[in-house]
Amino acid sequence: MHARLAVLLLAVLLALPVAGATSLGPATTPPTGSGGSNNGTLVVVVTPATSTVLVNGTPVATGASGTASVTLPAGTYFVTVSAVGYAEFTGNVTVSTAQTEYLTVHLVSAPPSPGGSGLKLSSFTVGLVATIVGVVAVAGLAIYLWRRKTAPESTEPPAAEAKPGEEPE
Query: Which DSSP symbol is given to 163?
Result: P
Sheet of strand 58-60: strand arrangement: 58-60, 52-55, 75-82, 89-95
Q: How far is CA 145 from CA 1, 12, 37, 148, in A?
A: 9, 18, 55, 5
Within 10 A of 144 (CB to CB), how many other CB atoms are there? 13
Is 33 or 120 the better-scoring residue by pLDDT? 120
Task: Report pLDDT for 114.
Answer: 63
Is 150 or 103 the better-scoring residue by pLDDT? 103
Task: Report pLDDT for 33.
Answer: 40
pLDDT in tens, 84-105: 989 999 999 999 999 999 999 9
pTM (2 d.p.): 0.50
pLDDT in tens, 43-76: 999 999 999 999 999 999 998 999 999 999 999 9
